[in-house]
Amino acid sequence: MSLVCGIDEAGRGPVIGPMVMAGVLVDDKDIPKLKSLGVKDSKLLTPKQREDLFPKIIKLVKSYKIIIIPPKEIDDVLESEDLNLNWLEAIKSAEIINSLKPNKSIVDCPSSNIQAYKSYLLNLLKIKTELVVEHKADVNYPEASAASILAKVTRDREMEKIQKKYGNCGPGYPANETTQKFLKENWEKHPEIFRQSWISYKNHKNSKFQKTMEDFGTFLKK
C-alpha cells in the first residue's frame, strides 16, 4: 500500500476573507475511484458539484487536513522581510505533509520557480516523502483536484459566514464590482475581514490619509 497526498489552495487572490490550504491522503489504489466520483480541478466544477463531492471525498480518502489562514496572518507574512505568499503556502503544505505522513506528495506549485519552491518545501519536511511539485497539479492529479475541492468549499463556507455577518461582499476578489463597492463602504468599519496588505485596500486607506492632510492644510490656511 502506498499513501499519496494531494495539496492545493483556494482564495489566494481575494482582498476579503481567508486563504484555505487542503490536503488529502489517499491509498494509490483508490485514486481511480476519485476520478469515478467526478473529481476534477475545483474551478471546472459548479458550486453545487463541489458541495456534493465534498463529503464523498472525505469518505473515500484515508485522511485529510484543512488549514484556514485568516487575513491577519497573510498580512503579517507579506509585511515580514523574509516571507511572501509562496513561502506561506510552502509552510502550510509542509504542515499538511508532516501531519498526514504520505509516501508521496503531489503539490500544486504557486511559484514560477518550481525548483526553488520545491527546495524551500523540502527543508520544512520532517518526514521522508517522494515530493512532486508541478504547475497545474490540481488539473493533472485527481488527489490534488480532491484537495482543491476541499479547499474551495471551505473557502466558500467561510465567505458565507462573512456575508451573513457583514452583508453582501461578493466573492472577495478586487476586480468584482460588488466586492469593490463593499470594500469602499466597509474598509474602515470592518478591517478584520480584509487583507490590509492588498493594494486595493491600501488605496482606500491612502486616499483617506491624503484627504485628511488636504483638510488639515486648508485648516492651517484659514
For the chain, the domains span: 3-165, 168-221
Backbone angles phi, psi at 69, to 5 degrees: -110, 105
Q: What is the predicted pLDDT for the residue at 208? A: 65
Closest listed residue to residue 190, CA positions, set 210, 169, 170, 174: 169
Residues of the chain with pLDDT under 50: 213, 215-222
Q: What is the predicted pLDDT for the residue at 192? A: 96
222 CB neighbour count, 10 Å cutoff? 4
The CATH homologous superfamily to which domain 3-165 belongs is Ribonuclease H-like superfamily/Ribonuclease H (3.30.420.10)
Q: What is the predicted pLDDT for the residue at 205? A: 83
100-140 tens-digit pLDDT: 999 999 999 999 999 999 999 999 999 999 999 999 999 99
> Full-prediction pTM beyond 0.85?
yes
DSSP state of 131: E
Q: What is the predicted pLDDT for the residue at 113? A: 97
Under 8 Å between Cβ of 15 and 201: yes
Q: What is the predicted pLDDT for the residue at 53? A: 98
Q: What is the predicted pLDDT for the residue at 209? A: 57
